[in-house]
Amino acid sequence: MGGYFGELRTFKSTCTGCALGLTPPAESARFTSTLDNERNGINRLLRVISVVRDIMIRYDGCVGSFLTMVNLASVLCGRYEVSLWRSKMALCELEQSQIAPLREISDLIAADAFPQAIAQMAQSFIITHGMSPRTAGLFATQQRWLLCHAILAYHFRKDQNGQSVLKRSIFGNLALRHGIASRNTAYSFFDEALTYGIIQLVEHDSDGGAEAFVPSRSALSILIEWYAVHFQALDLIDGGNRYAQLVARPDDMLARVQPAVADALLSDATMRAPEPLYGIFAWVDMGGFLMDRLIAGMDTAQPNAQERIPTDILSISHLAQSFGLSRAHTSRKLAAAEAAGGIGWTGRRGRSRIWISRSFYDQYARAQARKLLILDKAFEEAVTAAGADAQPA
């Protein structure tokens, strides 16, 4: 414990101008430079993030309550200008028993069908967005995605006791309890969810009490589809039958699986603080879908054998339009990833196919593998519990 906090103190002293909070590091001040200097500034911040990640990994087994994490929130880059780096520091309560061992993640990634499985997942996410863009867009950042899982876990736990209703205050309380967002951010998410039919009113207190809500049927259907996509990927990798069991009794499986999955996601350091290249996209509007589109468009035949994996993406404008984004917003995200060495163009910038780096692919693969293992463990526990419940008394 002393070593962990000692390293954190050293880390603080080496980050001139960077407070533990929402204060951006000194490098994040707006400056104009050459592309080489842009890369140097970005790489310095990535090294800062790497120091924190190394501390987390090294002391993961002995720190039982809190670890410091860095979430790369936004990078706005122009051709000769880095506009702003914003890094957030947060405290996240972790449960070591719910973090998948790295050995299992490596084994999953090494499976022959793994590249095909994650490409299939990425394609399915894009199709889901196309079918219901507004609904899917509500969960298109890591922050909202985690908040959604926390809220649904609360709903299903309460549902077991016949008290499944949600209230606006619960959104704010859960966001603060899990360190996901501010109360106001949670309330904004609640308002959007209500507007787009993700939640619906079930009780209205005429005496002026708090209104009560539940997840809508369409929202639960999307969640079931999300699990179906992941279980199909796992089945592709190991020949299992998770997907068949899910579709046989979707409501029951959803109620059993969701709380355990949410607990594991919310207590997993890497899910809370993604690796740097992954984080460039994960914390910005629609960034997850942009990342999925890059993965879906790559050559999956031998991704591990290439340092630069070509994709089928040629037009930034078309990529932006696919997700209802402005070209400027999409260009900034791609420029940030390019400056960090995550993507590039096979020929003239903006006029040729985009490639993704091996490092970017590896970070995406590790994130997906960790998530798949969390879902697989929750599924096995749900099946065991369902079998026990079915036994005669």
| Contact status, residue 80 vs residue 38, Cβ threshold 8 Å | yes
CA dist., res. 124 & res. 225, Å (int): 9
Is pLDDT of 159 > 90? no
What's the CA gap between 328 and 308, in Å, rounded? 25
pLDDT tens-digit map of 233-248: 999 999 999 999 999 9
Q: What percent of the chain has pLDDT over 70?
A: 68
Tokens 């692919």 -> residue: 361
pLDDT score recorded for residue 392: 57
pLDDT value at 82 more than 70: no
Name the residue with tokens 């002391």. Answer: 59
pLDDT at 163: 65
How far apart (Å, rounded) are the C-alpha atoms in residues 49 and 83?
19
The yes-or-no verdict on residue 54 having pLDDT over 80 is: no
DSSP element (H, E) containing 257:
helix 250-266
pLDDT at position 150 = 93
> Does residue 274 sit in helix, strand or coil?
coil
Predicted local confidence at residue 52, as pLDDT: 46
Q: Are 210 and 167 in contact (CB under 8 A)?
A: yes
Q: How many residues does the chain have?
A: 393
What does the block give as tokens for 250? 């979707």
pLDDT score for 382: 93
Distance, CA of 91 to CA of 13 (rounded, Å): 19
Q: Are 324 and 137 in contact (CB under 8 A)?
A: yes
Domain boundaries, the chain: 1-93
Give the closest residue to 340 by CA, choosing from 278, 383, 390: 278
